[in-house]
């Protein structure tokens, strides 16, 4: 397999890691729903040249994949209002561990190594929470975000090979922008939405441009492209690097630090995530293949 596809996914995780401090700054002005909606409106404009000719099947898959991703990102942005970005990154990384566990419900047969990894992940989260920075609602929202993205990852592995990457990415982005606008109007109200241009600072606008153009439009396309050539197990290991990059950028841009125990806990979480994706942990009938047995309704 050409090395360029794993390198593409590694680049995606670098960009994802950069989003955590950007989101943290944006949450000081905007709600999670507002941030998510605005970033995908920007992303939709970036993908406008590719909308023509999208098949009905790509729109269908883009809709349900986009709904999962939209919920995940909005829940993650909500959690970032109350917890540090590096903590959010490590909790979000549990989506990689959740993939094989959800696959168990669909017929995949993970080995005992999966359950060892799950125990290590719980231990790591406990160590990260020991420093007193835990927030019940924010942590719960972030874990729900991780769960939604785990289902999204399974769906992407199962459906990406059925469509052109640019079409599937465009369909997702436009569906997310449309759903987000409805959600934002219901959540924030028309008066708040009309006042947003006066509220958003230049720094936040620049952050939204980064989130929309690079962290949404570009990464959705690159992910759809690369996951047709990289196995789900190898992709998951690469994605496990996201919290490492997130902690690095949070330290550089926000001067966020973790206590020594939290740092050890973060390492334990990463080890658990990587351990869960070893070839011996997931047998040949993996989660993507299992999910293919349960396609979305037409």
DSSP 258-275: --HHHHHHHHHHHHHHHH
pLDDT band with cut points at 50, 70 and 90 for residue 54: very high
User: Tokens at residue 285, please?
Assistant: 């009938």
**275, 110 Cβ separation under 8 angstroms:** no
| Greatest distance between any 2 Cα atoms in the chain | 55
Residue 132: left if φ>0, alpha if ψ -120 to 50, beta else—which one?
Answer: left
Residue 123 reports pLDDT greater than 60: yes
Residue 284 reports pLDDT greater than 70: no
Q: What is the pTM of this model?
A: 0.76
Q: Which is more confidently placed, 217 or 120?
A: 217
Residue 263 reports pLDDT greater than 60: yes
Q: How far apart are CA 78 and CA 83, in angstroms?
A: 9
How much is the pLDDT for 291?
A: 54
Question: Best-predicted range by mean pLDDT among 13-22, 87-96, 120-129?
Answer: 13-22
pLDDT band with cut points at 50, 70 and 90 for residue 293: very low
How much is the pLDDT for 204?
A: 92
Residue 145 reports pLDDT greater than 90: yes
Residue 298 reports pLDDT greater than 50: no
Nearest Cα to Cα of residue 297 among 57, 54, 71, 51: 57
State percent of the chain over pLDDT 70.
83
- The mean pLDDT of 26-39, rounded to a whole number, is 88
pLDDT band with cut points at 50, 70 and 90 for residue 189: very high
How much is the pLDDT for 232?
A: 65
């Amino acid at each position: 397999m050409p090395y360029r596809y794993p390198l593409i996914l590694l680049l995606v995780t670098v960009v994802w890691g950069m989003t955590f401090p950007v989101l943290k700054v944006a949450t000081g002005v905007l709600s999670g729903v507002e941030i998510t909606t605005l970033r995908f409106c920007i992303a939709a404009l970036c993908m406008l040249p590719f909308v023509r000719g999208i098949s009905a099947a790509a729109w269908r898959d883009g809709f349900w994949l986009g709904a999962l991703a939209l919920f995940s990102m909005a829940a993650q942005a909500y959690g970032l209002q109350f917890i540090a970005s590096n903590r959010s990154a490590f909790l979000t990384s549990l989506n990689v561990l959740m993939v094989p566990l959800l696959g168990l419900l669909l017929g995949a047969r993970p080995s005992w190594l999966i359950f060892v990894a799950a125990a290590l992940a719980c231990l790591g989260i406990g160590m990260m929470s020991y420093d007193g920075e835990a927030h019940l609602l924010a942590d719960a929202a972030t874990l729900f975000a991780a769960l939604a993205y785990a289902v999204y990852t399974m769906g992407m592995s199962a459906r990406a090979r059925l469509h052109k990457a640019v079409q599937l990415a465009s369909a997702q982005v436009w569906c997310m922008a449309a759903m987000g606008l409805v959600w934002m109007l219901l959540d924030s109200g028309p008066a708040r939405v009309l006042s947003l241009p006066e509220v958003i600072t230049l720094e936040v606008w620049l952050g939204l441009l980064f989130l929309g153009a690079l962290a949404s439009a570009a990464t959705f396309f690159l992910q759809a492209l690369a996951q047709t050539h990289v196995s789900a197990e190898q992709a998951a290991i690469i994605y496990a690097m996201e919290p490492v990059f997130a902690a690095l950028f949070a330290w550089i841009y926000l001067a966020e630090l973790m206590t020594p125990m939290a740092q050890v806990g973060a390492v334990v979480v990463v080890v658990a995530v990587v351990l869960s994706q070893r070839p011996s942990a997931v047998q040949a009938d993996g989660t993507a293949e299992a999910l293919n047995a349960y396609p979305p309704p037409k």
